[in-house]
Amino acid sequence: MSKIKLLPEKVINQIAAGEVVERPSSVIKELIENSLDAKATWVEVEVQEGGRKLLKVSDDGEGMSPEDAKLAVLKHATSKVYTVDDLSQLNTFGFRGEALSSIASVSHFELSTRLQGAFSGTLIKIKGGDAAKITETGRPEGTTIAISNLFFNTPARLKFMKKESTEENHIVSVVTNYALAFPQVSFKLTVDGKEALRVSASDFGARVSAIFGKELFKSLLPMDYALNNIHVTGMVSAPTITKPTRENMLFFVNRRWIANPSLGYAIMAAFHTLLPTRRFPVAVVFIEIPENEVDVNVHPTKKEVKFSRDREVFDVVVKAVRGALMASTGSLQPPATVEPLSGMGAYESARLASSASSAQESPTAWSAPTTPLNLYDKIAQNRPAQPLTAGASHPNPLEDFNLAKGSGLQARRIDADTPLYNFSQLFNTFIVFQSDSEMFIADQHTVHERLNYERLMKGVREKSLEVQPLLVPATVEVSTKEAQVLKNSLDILMELGMEVAPFGGNTFLVRSVPADLAGKNMVTLMKDLLDDLMAQDASGVKSTNRLDQLRERTATFMSCRSAVMAGDRLNEEQMRGMVNQMREANLPFTCPHGRPTILSIPLSELYRRFDRH
């Protein structure tokens, strides 16, 4: 008996679905692309429970005849490709002909469509890849596809879905990114019955402003640079506007939203020496290139592309970004070569080091030589300080631990009855003091951060948190993605003493804050808090209790922002008071980020180090 057998069609479709449908946002991406290919002027997306319960996309596009609708749900049926040669001249988003059949094999699938000018429409229902049920229906011209119970028959795939808020954020990213690429199309997104995005047809600038917020839009610099039939346009932020992740660097090739690590390196190369460590710019980059010079068929979901002239594309993107940065300072001359970025791969470094002198440039002019060093001097004098981030992993903070083998440095609790004296401050950052048998060094920021965190969490537990109402509420405008994260966090913020309320669109009002944060710049603080929360959601890490995770993250951020900083001058009373409070802290060994607070050096270790016996 033969061991090799042909797989049933249903199993084939479910395997294909594993490639095409990575997560709910993959479904939304495929359906939106179909709507755009159908020349829709408006696209409406509805999501419930992160896409597990419902994913629905409606449009006013061309619609389908009954015959085309029946074929559309079959495997390898497409209106986009007819010959092999067509693959090198693609000017549509969809072409594989497997998306709808794959999606229908792992969900409860419903397609409703009506061809423009037709008297009636067609309704098709498919449950988990079973035979389609087809009926006539009345509906407006256009198409609606509703996907419910995604992965209901593939529990292994369902198990790997991330937490609901993470899946929602991926969906918001897909919708907003295509809204950026197609400003002439109206988009609406509803998440669990609440409107997350509504934008009417407009020009590109108005669309960027609507999605990123007017405040950020004002700080974006326009790009427009062409070279050898490669045209790069879009917008990029000034070096003083940064984010903690790369997700705000968006790339579109012939208006197709794509991922390409090399293009990310190009952006960072253009900003070389201008950004704080582990901070990234905002960039919306559109690359127009002849269709036959880009391969969009290298990934099942078409999210990656390959360029036949990848080195030239890389170079043009670098020059486009550099040009935008230098134009903002009144200088219009890029360097003849681009310096390699530290930590970059061999190809990227080689590309950056290569000369662009042989290229025939477009009429865009460059006037005076500018090096990365004086570009830094012109643009980045006011770059923000590097934010506090969690350091390397530490041993169990519940126990005393050696920070380095043989170093003699230890972090431990100071007994309540141990006399302490000789307090002084080093470099306006470290507190140095002693007992009769030990020398202690404390980091004033991490100590204060731990104290703030424990006081904040105690106030939450005992409902005794001191709150400061703002005399004039602070108005904060955020991007569409940030608004979704903020809406999901309002209850926790209120619990932690920060009353934030929607004020229409993507604008929110901050009405009260924890007393420790009174006097802070609320707009900046809220933007940084959202960056922090979005970075956490972007990690996709599941939590048994999302609210606990959100509460912890937010409390940690607030504790950091209300703590004294390195460089703040303290008097002896303040230093002694902080150290004495740490004696009573529950976990005095580290700050909430995991960094040490107080280190001790036994007198015996000092004797040993100085060879005193």
pLDDT tens by residue, 152-190 = 888 877 877 888 888 999 999 999 999 999 999 999 999
**Lookup: tokens for 283:** 């960039």
Euclidean distance between the first and the last CA atom of the chain, given in angstroms as a whole number: 84
Give tens-digit pLDDT for 564-594: 999 999 999 999 999 999 998 888 888 998 8
Share of the chain above pLDDT 90, in %: 52
Delimit the CATH 3.30.565.10 region(s) of the chain: 9-200
CATH number of 401-600: 3.30.1370.100
**Lookup: tokens for 119:** 């008297």
Beta bridge partners of 235: 222, 284
**At residue 370, does pLDDT exceed 60?**
no
Burial class (CB in 10 A: 0-12, 13-18, 19+), 147: buried
Give the lowest-confidence range in 304-308, 325-329, 398-402, 494-498. 398-402
d(CA 602, CA 408): 7
Residue type, 524: T
What is the pLDDT at residue 612? Answer: 87
Beta-carbon neighbour count of residue 8 at 10 Å? 10
What is the pLDDT at residue 372? Answer: 33
Nearest-CA neighbor of 435 among 425, 447, 422, 416?
422
Beta strands in 22-69, from DSSP E residues, in sequence order: 42-48, 54-59
Higher per-residue confidence, 101 vs 434: 434
Domain boundaries 219-379, CATH class: alpha beta
d(CA 208, CA 459): 41
Local confidence band at 332 (pLDDT 50, 70, 90 cut-offs): very low
**At residue 191, does pLDDT exceed 90?**
yes
Beta bridge partners of 231: 226, 288
Kindly report the pTM of this predicted structure.
0.72
Delimit the CATH 3.30.1370.100 region(s) of the chain: 401-600
Beta bridge partners of 45: 57, 189
Higher per-residue confidence, 589 vs 108: 108
283-288 and 249-253 as β-strands: parallel, antiparallel, unpaired?
parallel
Residue pair 348/382 in contact by the 8 Å Cβ criterion:
no
**Lookup: tokens for 394:** 């530490």
Burial class (CB in 10 A: 0-12, 13-18, 19+), 416: exposed
Q: Radius of gyration of the chain from Cα atoms?
A: 29
Domain boundaries 9-200, CATH class: alpha beta
Beta-carbon neighbour count of residue 236 at 10 Å? 26
Delimit the CATH 3.30.230.10 region(s) of the chain: 219-379
Local confidence band at 449 (pLDDT 50, 70, 90 cut-offs): very high
Mean pLDDT of 225-242: 93
> Distance of CA 43 to CAs 17, 255, 377, 505, Å?
24, 16, 46, 18
Residue pair 252/263 in contact by the 8 Å Cβ criterion:
no
What is the pLDDT at residue 497? Answer: 92
Beta-carbon neighbour count of residue 333 at 10 Å? 16
